[in-house]
């Protein structure tokens, strides 16, 4: 660890792990804590209200991580912005310009082909990892020249994939020798080791990072994760039009019946609650929360330092050769 495909980060990763980019959850504090603990910290650029704020985030995170390196003598893991490349992202060009100014070492692209941003990001020296949820999407991203593929598999939180991770990884390894990142159900160091054995170079861990002291998630969200299990994760198209893993208790708290939700993509700002509470209607992501199947592994709210230390111990126990 890490694999030969990640040699440029050989002495900077404590684990072959990415703190997954999570909407309204991944922020400055989580990024700083992840990277200084040797975990690649990723965040959606959409978490910033403007390109000016995105620029400010890069500056603050970079300053704090450089200070940490100066004070401790220990190198930090890369910071990895997540860029939505779908045509609906009106800020794509502006956010890309900010990324290029700051020169991130790794970038994740989501919701579409990475082709349109590959050249400028490669020219800036970045590795580009593309989210994919099907074999065909993986083939297209590989053909476009992506350095890595993030395989969204069954069990990932938020907008998720549907393929079994064992089948998906092995099918992609037949035609692709680049970096593979497994997204979906990684709850501890044992699962992380298993992902490597399967043929992955890295894995996402998302749900457990939601329930950290440094995440931007509402404290009620964190407590709900601690009290929930995988049985409380509902796969539904009601909130985004795409298959999305959401927490049943948060749907109930919003005044909705998780077993009788409206049609595909019908809920944006939830409409079927008391009209008298119109101005305070719950919204997806802000009030109706997502989680992956690894929710069963969330038993307490931890500091990132403690979560990474625990995961490292599990990882070493799972594979005695992991140093």
Tokens encoding 187: 């709850």
Domain boundaries, the chain: 4-216+299-318, 229-280
Q: Is the dihedral of CA 222, 224, 227, 230 positive or negative?
A: negative
pLDDT tens digits along 294-310: 999 999 999 999 999 99
Residue 252 reports pLDDT greater than 70: yes
- How many CA atoms are closer than 13 Å to the CA of 224, on its beta-carbon side? 23
**pLDDT at position 238, please?**
86
**pLDDT at position 280, please?**
54
Report the percent of the chain where pLDDT is more than 70.
92
Residue 285 reports pLDDT greater than 90: no
**pLDDT at position 72, please?**
96
Interval 96-113 mean pLDDT:
95
Where in 4-105 does DSSP place strands (E)? Answer: 17-19, 40-44, 79-84
Interval 250-271 mean pLDDT:
75
H or E segment to which residue 57 belongs: helix 51-72
H or E segment to which residue 166 belongs: helix 165-175
**pLDDT at position 281, please?**
55
Cβ contacts of 237 within 8 Å, gap of 6 or more: 243, 244, 264, 265
* Band (265; pLDDT cuts 50, 70, 90): low
Residue 60 reports pLDDT greater than 50: yes
Tokens encoding 44: 């959606």
pLDDT tens digits along 221-243: 999 999 999 999 999 988 888 88
**pLDDT at position 91, please?**
94
pLDDT tens digits along 172-213: 999 999 999 999 999 999 999 999 999 999 999 999 999 999
* Band (277; pLDDT cuts 50, 70, 90): very low
pLDDT tens digits along 118-175: 999 999 999 999 999 999 999 999 999 999 999 999 999 988 889 999 999 999 999 9
Interval 88-98 mean pLDDT:
94
**pLDDT at position 278, please?**
45
Cβ contacts of 149 within 8 Å, gap of 6 or more: 129, 130, 132, 138, 141, 142, 172, 176, 178, 179, 180, 181
Residue 274 reports pLDDT greater than 60: no
Cα distance between residue 201 and residue 83, in whole Å: 21
**pLDDT at position 66, please?**
97
* Band (279; pLDDT cuts 50, 70, 90): very low
Mean pLDDT of the chain: 91
Top CATH class, 4-216+299-318:
alpha beta
């Amino acid at each position: 660890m890490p694999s030969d495909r990640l040699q440029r980060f050989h002495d900077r990763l404590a684990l072959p792990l990415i703190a997954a980019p999570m909407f309204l959850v991944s922020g400055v504090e989580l990024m700083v804590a992840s990277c200084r603990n040797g975990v690649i910290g990723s965040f959606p650029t959409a978490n910033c209200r403007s390109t000016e704020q995105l620029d400010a985030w890069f500056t603050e995170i970079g300053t704090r991580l450089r200070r940490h390196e100066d004070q401790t003598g220990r190198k930090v893991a890369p910071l990895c912005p997540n860029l939505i490349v779908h045509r609906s992202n009106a800020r794509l060009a502006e956010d890309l310009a900010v990324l290029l100014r700051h020169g991130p070492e790794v970038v994740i692209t989501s919701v579409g082909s990475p082709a349109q941003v590959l050249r400028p990001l490669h020219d800036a020296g970045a590795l580009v990892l593309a989210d994919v949820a099907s074999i065909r999407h993986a083939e297209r991203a590989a053909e476009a020249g992506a350095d890595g593929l993030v395989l969204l598999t069954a069990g990932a939180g938020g907008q998720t994939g549907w393929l079994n991770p064992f089948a998906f990884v092995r099918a992609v390894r037949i035609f692709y020798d680049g970096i593979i990142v497994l997204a979906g159900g990684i709850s501890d160091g044992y699962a992380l080791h298993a992902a490597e054995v399967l043929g992955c170079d890295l894995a996402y861990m998302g749900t457990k990072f939601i329930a950290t002291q440094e995440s931007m998630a509402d404290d009620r969200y964190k407590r709900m994760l601690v009290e929930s299990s995988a049985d409380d994760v509902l796969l539904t198209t009601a909130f985004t039009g795409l298959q999305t893993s959401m927490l049943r208790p948060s749907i109930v708290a919003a005044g909705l019946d998780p077993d009788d939700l409206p049609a595909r993509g019908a809920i944006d700002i939830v409409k079927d609650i008391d009209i008298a509470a119109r101005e305070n209607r719950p919204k997806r992501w802000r009030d109706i929360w997502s989680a992956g199947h690894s929710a069963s592994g969330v038993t307490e709210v931890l500091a990132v330092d403690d979560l990474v230390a625990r995961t490292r111990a599990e990882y070493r126990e799972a594979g005695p050769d992991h140093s």
